[in-house]
Amino acid sequence: MASRAANKRLTREYKAISENPPPFIVAHPSETNILEWHYILTGPPDTPYQNGQYWGTLIFPPNYPFAPPAIRMHTPSGRFQPSSRLCLSISDFHPKSFNPAWEVSTILIGLLSFMTSEEMTTGSVGGTEAERKWAALRTRWWNNTGGGSFKGEGSTVSQKGNIKAGDGGVKFRTEWPELEAENWKWMKENRIDAATGNVTPDPDAPPSNSCGPVTGLRRPSGSQAIAGAVVEGGRAVGEEGRSWVARHKLLVAGSVIFTYVLIARLLGEGSGLSV
């Protein structure tokens, strides 16, 4: 339960951010809990996240603003592990570094700035630019369907706590009904399949004999799962950072053994010819 000071402060901040939202950011508290805020970051131009719709939560402590919120981003982005707490100087990972003068808008501006950088921390993931662009195209679909688990109107939330794929988009629909309606319209206009997030063929389009590449919401060729490599303590763990030798240990070992046997056989044959 929010303290009187936290309630007063967050009410004032909601009024301020509603009247003057920062660029690419909207946010509001839950109707049932002023300590639970929901935000949407729109991917800025000239970034891999351009036009992406990134939904997340700020969970404030009862003694805010004297302690920072837990920060999560639920929408897969290729930048953060979905629904994981993010270790930032403005989050609950570092309560001693939090400045009580910082507001909700300050926190979200800082999050957006960190997202568009390449700095790594706990909760970050490794991802290529192509993967992040691919994820951006799927954000509206993911938000509305809970990652393809939409069961139709009237479905209920099947889990508590962190929002992950599997709730059918119920939580998003509860917090962002207008955006949800816009997203369904966008999906219909772009023939996005609710189950898979892929573009379906246009039934009215004439058959095409083109050999050009197929476009749409397809994962980049050769890419790994969008979650990428989880980062702990600022170090990425994944295939991308490993050397060629480390990734082909069996091939290297086999070559060494083959070379050793060949040399030994040649030396043996040479010894047999000597007087």
Which residues are the active-site residues?
87
**8 Å CB contact between 73 and 86:** yes
Catalogue the long-range contacts made by 85-91 (C-beta closer than 8 Å, 24 or more residues apart): 85/122, 85/123, 86/111, 86/121, 86/122, 86/123, 86/124, 87/121, 87/122, 87/123, 88/114, 88/121
Give dist(CA 173, CA 192) in Å, integer: 18
Rounded Cα distance, 163 and 169, in Å? 9
